[in-house]
Amino acid sequence: MTMEYKAILLKKRPTGDFTPDCFETTTLTTPQLSDGQFLVKQTHMSLDPAMRTWVQDNPDSYLPPVGIGEVMRAFGVGVVVESKNADFPVGSQVYGMTGWTEYCLGGEDMQLVPEGVSVEALMCCFNVPGLTAYAALKKTKPKAGETLVVTGASGSVGSIVGQIAKYQGLRVIGIGGPQEEKIKWMEEELGFDKAINYTSPTLKEEIDAALPDGANIFVELTGGPAQHYVFEKMARYGRIEVIGVMADYNKEVPALGPSWVQVNLKVLNIDGFIITDHYDEMQECFDYLAEMIKNGKLHYQSHYIEGLDSAFKGVHMLFTGQNLGKLIVKL
């Protein structure tokens, strides 16, 4: 049986922030299934800052850009509603690359949602944010007693980086969202030793004061002014893990990075990170985070918006600090 459904296509590449005219809604028809295929009705769709990089025509990117006229790329969770694949029977809950769409064909990357894991925990912790945080932090070889700074600390990835670091006995300075409730959340619920507002007019002074002995580890998620101030405070043999540079995604020309002088004098190690290199650590990460949740040591929050069309303004929320937690579209 075929039916019509709504999907959102990329209409043009943004030059700055996403604007609604970058997308257009279309009506598609579900296909007749061949052997091995299954049809998924998406129930939850993740909105991520990385979407801004996925629409850039950049040959250096880790994924090919979404083509003009193609369904916009997204990670999501759904339910199998029709199936010619015994591994994915009707009614099973699956996750993977779905796209901005109500229905999609199950792809090779799709997996069953593990039993006992809620959709919220999967989207906030166990999948992209959790694996990114876990694998990136592991690369820095953290040691108890060291000081770690994480930017984007009130966001999905940064909040997990900071909590794993606390769990491992590090001192954690989180630089994150300007709202008072985000600062409170980082200090009171996540247990960070200090939370700093990235828009503060005294940002440099606050970073200096929080790092009397410098930072051993800097996990970078955003760029922006904090990048330079933290870089200047790196301790000797410090490690910098660059996961994202969100403040630069909407800029035509990215900001200049710090000087090599510090790298040389302080013997710093700067390392890039892309999640696609770490899928083989998924089970290990899952077990680790599940243990933290069981021990009450991993907190997360989600921010739901309703309906496929809400994605138009949802992606914009990511770059204007309007989301309080993992941004998820409920379909």
Give the number of other Cβ atoms within 10 Å of residue 23's Cβ: 21
Could you give the angle at the alpha carbon of 103 between the alpha carbons of 35 and 89, nearest 5°? 45
Cβ at position 265, least distance to ligand NAP in Å: 27
State which of positions 220-239 bind ligand NAP (CB under 6 A): 221-222, 224
Angle between helix 225-232 and helix 203-210 axes, rounded to 10 deg = 30
Burial class (CB in 10 A: 0-12, 13-18, 19+), 307: exposed
Give the number of other Cβ atoms within 10 Å of residue 200's Cβ: 16
Residue 155 engages ligand NAP in binding (rule: CB under 6 A): yes
Residue 50 is encoded by which pair of tokens?
A: 């990385």
Q: Which one-letter DSSP state was computed for residue 101?
A: B
How many residues bind ligand NAP (CB under 6 A)? The answer is 31
Cβ at position 219, least distance to ligand NAP in Å: 10
Among 121, 122, 150, 243, binds ligand NAP (CB under 6 A): 243
In degrees and rounded to multiples of 5, residue 220 shows phi and psi of -100, 120
Residue 132 engages ligand NAP in binding (rule: CB under 6 A): yes
Residue nearest to ligand NAP (CB): 155
Among 76, 99, 177, 314, binds ligand NAP (CB under 6 A): 177
Contacts of 318 (CB under 8 A, 6+ apart): 47, 48, 49, 51, 327
In degrees and rounded to multiples of 5, residue 108 shows phi and psi of -65, -30
Count Cα atoms within 13 angstroms, Cβ side, for 222. Answer: 28
Residue 49 engages ligand NAP in binding (rule: CB under 6 A): yes
Residue 50 engages ligand NAP in binding (rule: CB under 6 A): yes
What pairing do the DSSP bridges indicate for beta strands 111-112 and 38-46? unpaired
Could you give the angle at the alpha carbon of 278 between the alpha carbons of 273 and 282, nearest 5°? 135
State which of positions 179-218 bind ligand NAP (CB under 6 A): 182, 198
Task: Check if the beta carbon of residue 307 is closer than 8 Å to that of residue 156.
Answer: no
290 or 318: CB nearest ligand NAP: 318
Residue 78 engages ligand NAP in binding (rule: CB under 6 A): no
39 or 128: CB nearest ligand NAP: 128
Cβ at position 229, least distance to ligand NAP in Å: 12
Cβ at position 76, least distance to ligand NAP in Å: 15
Cβ at position 49, least distance to ligand NAP in Å: 4
Question: Cα dist. 245→61, 63, 181, 276 in Å?
Answer: 13, 17, 24, 17
In degrees and rounded to multiples of 5, residue 221 shows phi and psi of -120, -15
Residue 176 engages ligand NAP in binding (rule: CB under 6 A): yes
Cβ at position 325, least distance to ligand NAP in Å: 8
Cβ at position 250, least distance to ligand NAP in Å: 9
78 or 176: CB nearest ligand NAP: 176
Locus of tokens 């040389």: 264
Cβ at position 128, least distance to ligand NAP in Å: 5
Stretch that binds ligand NAP, among 68-76, 104-112, 201-209, 240-248 (CB under 6 A): 240-248
Residues that bind ligand NAP (CB under 6 A): 48-50, 128-129, 132, 152-158, 176-178, 182, 198, 221-222, 224, 243-244, 246-247, 273-275, 318-319, 321
